[in-house]
Amino acid sequence: MELPVFYDEAEEWSNALLLYDAALKEISTKLEILNNEFKLAHQYNPIEHITSRIKTPQSIAKKLRHNNKELTVDNIVKYVNDVAGIRIICTFTSDIYRIADLIRKQSDIKILKIKDYIIQPKENGYTSYHMIVSIPVFLSDRTVDTKVEIQIRTIAMDFWASLEHKIYYKFEGNAPEHIRNELKECSKIISYLDQKMLSLNEEIKSCTQEQLGDFKQETPG
Ligand code: 0O2
């Protein structure tokens, strides 16, 4: 990653980046283990896929400016919660809470903040479940609790967020009203779709093997 503007703190920044990178790796491994265990027990993957990223220096600087804080490594570590970010994409809304619960039960992870934008969507229609957590990173001479933002959302929520992000940047945060309204409408459709897919899945799960056999006989081909 490119050095940010604070060249005089280059070493501190490199150390901070090492911690953020290690924290992302630790959480990714934990999630992979949980997903594999779940698959073995239930023949089903709650996690579709996972992405992770370190926030760009430009985006970090913007956030600090927005909070009227000077651009220093100390301030980044203290005030920017999402320098290290992981996004978990699931199939169903119920998987989101299941995964959040599994993360909560990991004894070395501390939950610092929860933002449930599913129960309380943002004004623009954004839905997702956010957790700010800290995880210990074991170095040769010390252990450092390092912050990571975990975003958990369904495929449909992610689809919406990607488009909204594109539109936000295209119009520099000032999209025309009709586009903002359409986006809100799409958010409602997505929430409806997520609910429908979940109840359909529940219905399929509750079907007994016998019922499934009958269903197959009824369906030609
Ligand atoms: P990028 O490019 O992902 O880095 P906090 O200090 O954590 O309490 P913050 O950062 O406002 O305050 O928290 P919040 O609301 O949890 O948002 C953090 C991240 O969530 C954002 O990071 C986005 O990734 C995502 N997000 C939040 N709101 C929206 C939204 O309305 N639309 C989309 N598409 N994503 C959103 P950044 O820094 O904005 O961006």
Question: Hunting for tokens 């009203």 — which residue is that?
Answer: 177
Could you tell me if the CB of 161 is within 6 A of ligand 1? Answer: yes
Could you tell me if the CB of 124 is within 6 A of ligand 1? Answer: yes
Could you tell me if the CB of 59 is within 6 A of ligand 1? Answer: yes
CB burial readout 210-220, b (16+ within 10 A) else e: eeeeeeeeeee
* Contact of 130 with 82, CB cutoff 8 Å: no
Is pLDDT above 80 for 105?
A: yes
User: Which atom of ligand 1 is closest in space to residue 161's alpha carbon?
Assistant: 34
Pairwise CA distance, residues 100 & 204, whole Å: 24
pLDDT confidence of residue 42: 82
User: Which atom of ligand 1 is closest in space to residue 164's alpha carbon?
Assistant: 34
Is pLDDT above 90 for 3?
A: no
Q: Hey, how many other C-beta atoms are within 10 angstroms of the C-beta on 153?
A: 24
Pairwise CA distance, residues 161 & 140, whole Å: 40
Residue nearest to atom 19 of ligand 1 (CA): 82
In a domain, 85, yes or no: yes
Rounded distance from Cα 8 to ligand 1 centre (Å): 28
Sign of CA dihedral 71, 76, 81, 83: positive
pLDDT tier at 204 (50, 70, 90 boundaries)? Answer: confident
Q: Could you give the angle at the alpha carbon of 48 between the alpha carbons of 45 and 53, nearest 5°?
A: 130
Is pLDDT above 80 for 45?
A: yes
In a domain, 174, yes or no: no
Q: What CATH number did the domain enclosing 136 receive?
A: 3.30.460.10
Rounded distance from Cα 202 to ligand 1 centre (Å): 31
pLDDT confidence of residue 5: 57
Could you tell me if the CB of 39 is within 6 A of ligand 1? Answer: no
The DSSP element (H or E) to which 102 belongs, if any, is: helix 93-104
Could you tell me if the CB of 196 is within 6 A of ligand 1? Answer: no
Domain that holds residue 129: 7-155
Which CA distances in Å does 209 have to 173, 202, 213?
A: 52, 14, 6
Residue nearest to atom 3 of ligand 1 (CA): 55
pLDDT confidence of residue 208: 66
In a domain, 123, yes or no: yes
Residue nearest to atom 11 of ligand 1 (CA): 63
In a domain, 208, yes or no: no
How does pLDDT run across 132-172, given as a tens digit for each residue?
A: 999 999 999 999 999 999 999 999 999 999 999 999 888 88
The number of domains in the chain is 1
In a domain, 141, yes or no: yes
How do 84-90 and 143-154 pair as beta strands? parallel
pLDDT tier at 78 (50, 70, 90 boundaries)? Answer: very high
Pairwise CA distance, residues 137 & 143, whole Å: 5
How does pLDDT run across 176-198, given as a tens digit for each residue?
A: 899 999 999 999 999 999 999 99
Mean pLDDT of all residues in the chain?
Answer: 91
In a domain, 101, yes or no: yes
In a domain, 133, yes or no: yes
In a domain, 166, yes or no: no
pLDDT tier at 128 (50, 70, 90 boundaries)? Answer: very high
Could you tell me if the CB of 51 is within 6 A of ligand 1? Answer: no
User: Which atom of ligand 1 is closest in space to residue 56's alpha carbon?
Assistant: 4
Q: Please count the CA atoms within 13 angstroms of the CA of 76 that sit on its side-chain side.
A: 27
What are the strands of the beta sheet with 47-54, ordered from one edge? 47-54, 84-90, 143-154, 129-138, 110-116
